[in-house]
Amino acid sequence: MTDASDEPRRIVFTGAAGGIGTMIRPLLAPLYPGLVLSDRVKPVNLLAGETFVAADLAKPDEVVAAVKGAHSVIHFGGFSVEGPWDTLLQANIIGCYNLFEAARLAGVRRVVFASSNHAVGFYPRKRKIRTDVTVRPDSRYGVSKAFGEALGALYADKHGMAVTCLRIGNVGPCPLDVRRLSIWISPEDIVQLIRIGLEHPDIRFDVLYGASDNEASWWDNSRARRLGYRPTGKAEDHRAYAVAEQEKVGRDPVGDLFQGGSFCSAEFTNDVKRAGP
């Protein structure tokens, strides 16, 4: 899968001190020696070969410095949950633009963008969706991720950057409730998707779902499989635990209808019959 002409490569990983970054750094480090980590704060316990460049995504000059000389960027930086509009605007919209524009100026060839299931969260759970559906964000956070996907398409089409958007479900050792039985992805499987984005020669602009081999999945991830994705994690192996945890949470009359869960029900003032496609 690797294009030998791409070597040697400087790969920058934004959001390296975040929750997902902390989980997958030990898996990425041996695959990509010399990985450059970036975040507002320094990750703990830098591994051998890793270097760190501090950068606030909302500050263009810092982003330019972080991606200087990079061949590829794994862009997991930003605000990772729902929040006030101005917070999301600075981190996920202005910050995402700053990243793509700095990457263009630096001649970056590939970007793997951490999108989210919340870009399509208002699809009903009873409907299986492909990657080419119209975005239906469930939150301001979801809107910011839909923006990032659109921006990635622009830079792919206008500037020839190879962009892979991963609509990530929930990364962790196991699914934490019944909803996540459908959207869970193991750290090993998300690294596999990142490798496709960084290495596969057929990538131009792609949206892939960040999910393991989940029997209850709501997503058609056939494009990822055509690109060689072979997930090893299986949410069903953890069903008993997820069901037990769900019983502690109880029902959500709105969130339980839609793929985005509680992101849909938060601040909800609509009639559920008028929500979603």
Tokens of 4: 């030998």
Three-state DSSP at 124 gives strand
Q: Closest by alpha carbon to 195, among 208, 182, 184, 214?
A: 208
Q: Kindly list the catalytic residues.
A: 141
Q: Closest by alpha carbon to 215, among 252, 255, 178, 172?
A: 178
Helix (H) or strand (E) holding 73: strand 72-75
Rounded to whole angstroms, how far apart are CA atoms 180 and 191?
19
Rounded to whole angstroms, how far apart are CA atoms 177 and 219?
18
With beta carbons less than 8 A apart as the criterion, state whether 124 and 258 touch.
yes
**Backbone φ and ψ of 203, nearest 5°:** -70, 125
